[in-house]
A and B are shown apart, each in its own frame.
Chain A
Amino acid sequence: MVRNRTHIPQLSPIGCDFAALLAITAIGIALPFFVESRYFLSQLTLFLIWATVVSQWNIVMGFAGIFSLAQMALFAFGGYFTAVLGKYFGVNLAIGTFIAGFATVGVSLIIGFACLRLRGIYVALLTFAITQTAVLLVNSDTACIIGTGATCQTLTGGQRGLSQFGDYGFRELLGRDYQIGNFYVALATMVLAIGLSILIVRGPLGYAFRALRDNEAVAVSVGINRYKYQLLVFAASAFVTGIAGGVYAAHFKVVGPSILGFPVMAFLVSMLVVGGLGKLWGPIVGAALLMLIDEQLKDFAEYRNMGLGILIVFFIVLAPDGLVGMFEKIWQLLRNRRPQREDNNSAGRVAAKKGTLQNFEGN
């Protein structure tokens, strides 16, 4: 049941989102000046990286409805690519990260093409299999590129991983406070990621996917080409993900098969789910909360993954829209109106009137 909204002059939804992003950016810029501990700053940097990756995964899975389980593989690819460029080709890591973004787009497009004609579950299966294969290939990498025996260096570093490939050079610039440099790079990446997300969700791509989800036949008849948009989403989300991989490599100065493993994927899935799958701000909320929880539970390392598993199941069964979803419902209740359900005539509206953001509820 749709009620008439009283027209209160306010920012359009997209304006609200960018305002929020601006606020977050401001906080982020100011943050290092208040943080003493180097460890804490490093953890914040990690938070930014994870929030980036999860936000892009959220776009693919939550908004576009593509069950891709290959996000970690893309992130890892970006990291490894940057590291390999730095180690074997002497490419400056900043440039390498940038290139890695594009390279990751390439890989993502390949995966996207492979999945193009597949529907739903098949995509999940295929991307899962691809990720597992990547894990296998890396873990069993024993072909020496340089040196032999004790000095053997494999392309991916095998189970040991890659190290000593350089960094962003902040040590020279900032001395003892070099962590701050990495932090700002990560911040910039996350802001870029969220900004991109906002544009995708609120823009024509978001409309298209909502239309496709609500009623595919109508959407197609209006000229929405599922294949084209699917590939676009794959490409767009891969760019920042690859860059995030590069930032990870530069910050931690090591990339290993652990980032492809189940524990890391579990961690990110938790963030996705706890924050709220398909919610624009879900990834940030989820990442923040999970890093906090993880920090508190550091002493119970063995039970960490068990706890993650329980958390995932708990949330997805009982609160599938995550924390952001819960906040939204509470907000609606407080504003004394019925929870507005998703408008399910997106396809019709696209056909009728492109442009006017009327009664737009976004998520």
Chain B
Amino acid sequence: METVILVLVSGLTLSGMYALSAIGLSLTWGALGMLNMAHGAFLAVGSYVCFTIITQLGAPMWLAIPMAVIISGLVGLLVYLLIVRQMFRHPAFETNIIIATIGLAILSENTILNFFGAYPFRQPLVIEGGFRLSGIFIPYQNIAILASSVVLVGLVGILLGKTRTGRAIRATSMNKDAALLMGVPVGQVYAQVMAVSGCLAAVSGIMLSTITTLSPTMGDAPMVKAFIIVAVAGLGNVYGAFFIAIGFGLLEAIFQFTFGVRLAFPLLLLLVIASLIWRPNGFFGSATILRN
């Protein structure tokens, strides 16, 4: 029973972080048709900015986090304006954008490395203490992460489902030409999606950094996992990504517990490969995006 609770807690914490990261990626993937290899960089940037704001500017947590998130959103917007938008016209956009974002990721990681060094700073955001549930110690930190994830996912859900902006994003993801014909300013939608994606990645990164430490390459592994989650869920299906993220986090915790940390990921990967062979378009995916 104790192990179950332990696994559940760590699993759900992971799920929460992955869900936010994956949703951001799914939005980008769905609306713009791009595989954002700089997603991990957004995670790292958000964390380091938050860290800097707290330690250098002495700002309190409730100020630092939103600021870092907004800044990451702006970075996402910039990436769209300066890079993605220029590349849309090229027929090989899908390949080229992967390379461009790889370049961005390298630039970002090494800029962080040069600025901060590789020292594994601790994010000064830890909530001390916890409570006991049937003998197991559950840190408040984890609960906070889980709660924040739920709230944020809910907000994104409302944004997508109930607002005009959300409808525009969904329409653009489903059929860009049709959206244009409805008067949806698709270019603006793209910009919004990239900004939101940056914000979500930042939150995910900040959460992650409270459990582990800061490092320039901290976004790499989470990014791979986000990719996997989104692919298994299916192109651009945000709700699907959410559910698969939950499953993934729990599975990872179970695998880590059963097979050890080293083998957990490769085994997960095998599972993923199998599922992608079974369902090449993802579990909840449908037809591919109509890229003009």
A residues lining the B interface (CB < 8 Å): 61, 65, 67, 69, 114, 117-122, 124-126, 128-130, 132-133, 136-137, 140, 262, 265-266, 269, 272-273, 277-278, 302-303, 305-306, 308-313, 316-318, 320
Contacts and interface: CB of A to CB of B under 8 A. Distances in A.
Interface string B226-246: 011001000000000000000
B136 interface: no
B56 interface: no
Nearest to B114: A302
A269 B110 contact: no
B127 interface: no
Interface string B80-104: 0011001100101011101110111
Contacts of A306: 106-107, 110-111, 114
Interface of B: 29, 33, 35, 37, 82-83, 86-87, 90, 92, 94-96, 98-100, 102-111, 113-114, 217, 220-221, 224, 227-228, 231, 262, 265-266, 269, 272-273, 276-277, 280, 288
A119 B94 CA distance: 11
A232 to B, nearest CB: 20
B287 to A, nearest CB: 11
A129 B106 contact: no
A262 B109 contact: yes
Contacts of A302: 113-114
7 contacts: A126-B272, A262-B106, A302-B114, A309-B110, A316-B100, A317-B87, A320-B92
A126 to B, nearest CB: 7
Contacts of A309: 103-108, 110
A122 B231 contact: yes
Nearest to A117: B280
A306 B113 CA distance: 10
A121 B87 contact: no
B102 A277 contact: no
Given A278-B92, A306-B114, A124 B98 contact: yes
A125 B103 contact: no
B269 A130 contact: yes
Contact of A269 (B102, B108, B220, B227): B102
A251 B55 CA distance: 48
Contact of A132 (B33, B86, B224, B273): B224
Nearest to A132: B224
B85 to A, nearest CB: 10
Contacts of A124: 35, 98
Contacts of A125: 35, 227-228, 231
A268 to B, nearest CB: 11
A120 B87 CA distance: 17
A277 B96 contact: yes
A121 B29 contact: yes
Contacts of A312: 99-100, 102-103, 106
A61 B102 CA distance: 15
Given A316-B87, A317-B86, A133 B266 contact: yes
Chain A CB within 10 Å — which of B94, B103, B224, B265 has the most? B103
Given A132-B220, A137-B266, A320 B96 contact: yes
Nearest to A312: B103
A140 B263 CA distance: 10
A305 B110 contact: yes
A114 B87 contact: no
Contact of B35 (A61, A118, A121, A317): A121
B227 A128 contact: yes
B90 A320 contact: yes
A119 B280 contact: yes
A125 B227 CA distance: 6
| Among B106, B228, B262, B266, residue most surrounded by chain A Cβ atoms (within 10 Å) | B106
Contacts of B111: 306
A203 to B, nearest CB: 22
Contact of B95 (A114, A132, A277): A277
Contact of B96 (A121, A122, A316): A316
Nearest to B267: A133
A-B CB proximity, top 3 nearest: A309-B107, A312-B103, A309-B106
Contact of B83 (A118, A129, A311, A313): A313
